[in-house]
Structure 1
Amino acid sequence: MPARKTASPAGDAEPHYLGHRARLKARFLDSGPESLPDYELLELVLFRTLPRGDVKPLAKQLIAAFGSFADVLAAPYERLVEIKGVKDATATDFKVIEAAARRFAKGAIGKKTVLSSWSALIDYCRTAMAFDDRERFRILFLDKKNGLIADEVQQSGTIDHTPVYPREVVRRALELRASALILVHNHPSGDPTPSRADIEMTRTIVQIAKPLGIEIHDHVIVGREGHASFRALKLF
C-alpha cells in the first residue's frame, strides 16, 4: 500500500504572494496590459527588483503618492527612494522604463512626416513632458517636407514658468535651416490651458519668423489632463 501523504506543517506553506505573482503574469500575457489597473502593472515592474514579499501594498502606496502609473515612472529619482520599500535598483528600473517609453514614442515620429502622424506626435510630447515637475520649452524643427530635423529642449524653468526668448528660437531655426517649427511646452499643474503670456510669446515668435520664411505650424501645451493646440484654438 502506498504511503499516505501527510499534511505539510503550516510553516511550510508557500507564501500567498507566489500564486498571486504567477496569476498576475498570466493575466498580463493572456489579456494584455489594458486588463490591469495601474497598481497591478506597477506590481509587475516591482517583481524584478523585489523578488520576495508582497509588493501590492507598495504599488498602491506609490500610486497614492504620485497619482498614476505614468506619474510614478516620471517621478524624480530622489522622491522615489524616499518611499519606504523602494530600493535604488527599483527607482533605477522606473527611470529606465520611462526613458524607454520616451525613446519609443520619439521613434514613432522620427521616421515619418510629422504632420502626417499627429497622434504619434501628441503621444510623444505627452510621454516626454506631461508628467515633468518643471516647465520645459521644446522645439521640433522641420524641413520643407515636414520631416523632423531636430528635437530640442531650449529652456527649462520652474514649476510654473519657463523663460522663452523668441529671437533665440528663430536664430536656432535659421542655424538648422528649418522651414517650420512646432513649439511644445508643458504645464506641471496638469491643466494645459494656454495663459496670456503663452499666447503673447507665441504671437511674437510668429511675427519674427514669418518674414524669414519660417512657419510656426502649432504650439502645443501638454499636461496630465490632456493637451491644447494653439492652431485648433485659433490663437494665432
Structure 2
Amino acid sequence: MRDRRSNVAAEPGPGGETLTTKGHRQRLRERFRRSGEDSLADYELLEFLLFSALPRRDTKPIAKALLQRFGSFSAALAAPRERLCEIPGLSDVSIDALKAVHAAIARYHRSELKQRQLLDSWPRVIDYLRASMELNTIEEFRILFLDRKNGLIADEVQQTGTVDHTPVYPREIIRRALEHAATALILVHNHPSGDPTPSRADIKMTKTIIEIATPLGIEIHDHIIIGLRKNVSLRELQLI
C-alpha cells in the first residue's frame, strides 16, 4: 500500500500503525505546540488525547466515532465507561485516559474554589458543578459544605440514583454538616433529562432540610439544579 499524498510507503505496523500515521501525529503535535488548542478541531484534540493510550492505532476514526456517538467533545469525555466501551478501537487504557481528562477538569475547578469564598465566586462554582455533573446519565445529589467565611470545607456526593430520581435523607445531610463543623450548605443535583426545572419533590425536600438545619445554626444558601447547558437556583426562583 502506498500513501498517495506523500508517495511514502505506508506499510502497516503492529496494531495498524503506518508511516503516514506517524507523520500525521507529528504534524498535529507541532501545530498544537505552535498555536495551542484553538488550532485543533474537536476530533483532533480527541485524537491527541488518545495518542499515548493507543500508540499503534490511527486514532482519527476513533475520535470521529466518539463525536458522532456522543455529539460533542465534552459529552465524549463525560460519557459513562460502559458506553465508551461500545466505541470500536477504544481499550480500557484509552478509556482511562479520557476519564482522567474529565476528572482533571473537575479537579481544576474544585481546587480553584478552595482558594476563594464561594458566594463571591459564583460563576466558578457553576463552572465546577457543570463540569462535574452536567452530562451525568443518572441523578446525583452533591453538597458543598462551607465555613463561616463561605470557604469550601468539603464537596461530597451524598447519593446517586436512577435517570430521574435520587433518594435524599435530610437528617444524614445535617449529620455530615455537623461532622464538618459547616455553618452553611449549597445543595446541588442534576437532571439527566437536561431540563433543570425543579419538581415539587425537589422543593419539598429542600424545605425539609432547611427546617432541620435552621435551629442548628446551619444556613442553606441555595439549591442548584444542573441541566443541559442550563441551571436553576431555587433561591433565585424564590422557592426557598
TM tier relative to shorter chain? 0.7 to 0.9
When normalised by structure 1's length, the TM-score is 0.87
Aligned to 1:72: 76
In the TM superposition, 1:1-236 aligns within 5 A as: 11=9, 15-236=19-240
Query: Is the CA contact 1:143–1:179 (under 8 Å) kept in the aligned structure 2?
Result: yes
Separation in 1, partners of 2:55, 2:174: 52
- More displaced, 94-103 or 131-140? 94-103
Deviation at 1:53, TM superposition (A): 4.5
Report how far residue 69 of structure 1 moved: 1.6
Give the C-alpha shift of residue 12 in structure 1.
6.0
Contact map agreement 1:191 1:225 (CA 8 A) in 2: no
Contact residue 137 and residue 184 of structure 1 kept, 8 A: yes
SS in 2 for 1:49: coil
Unaligned runs of 5+ in 2: 1-5, 12-17
Cα distance change on mapping 1:175 and 1:11 into 2, 3 Å: closer
Q: TM-score, normalised by structure 2?
A: 0.86
SS in 2 for 1:11: coil
Deviations 1:141-187 (A, max 9, x none): 11111111221111111111001122222232223221110001111
Shift of residue 15, structure 1, vs aligned partner: 4.6
Read off the aligned partner of 1:149 and give its amino acid letter.
I
- The aligned amino acid for 2:158 is Q
> What is the CA–CA distance in structure 2 between the aligned matches of 1:152 and 1:169, rounded to whole Å?
10
One-letter amino acid of the counterpart of residue 196, structure 2: P
Q: Per the alignment, in what secondary structure is the counterpart of residue 89 of structure 2?
A: coil
Displacement after TM superposition at 1:47 (Å): 1.6
More divergent stretch after superposition (154-163 vs 190-199): 190-199
Greater Rg over alpha carbons, structure: 1
Q: Percent identity?
A: 58
Amino acid at match of 1:127: A
Deviations 1:201-228 (A, max 9, x none): 1122222222222111111111332221
Q: Distance in 1 between matches of 2:155 and 2:47?
A: 33
Q: Structure 1: where are the runs of 5+ without partners? A: 1-7
Which secondary structure state, in structure 1, belongs to the residue aligned with residue 116 of structure 2?
coil
How many residues align structurally? Answer: 229
- Range that drifts further, 159-168 or 226-235: 226-235
The 3 A distance-change label for structure 1 pair 213 and 126 is: same
> Contact (CA 8 Å) 1:192, 1:225: kept in 2 or not?
no
Q: Distance in 2 between matches of 1:170 and 1:157?
A: 20
Q: Which runs of 4+ in 1 moved over 6 A?
A: none
Q: CA deviation at 1:122?
A: 1.2
Q: CA deviation at 1:34?
A: 3.4
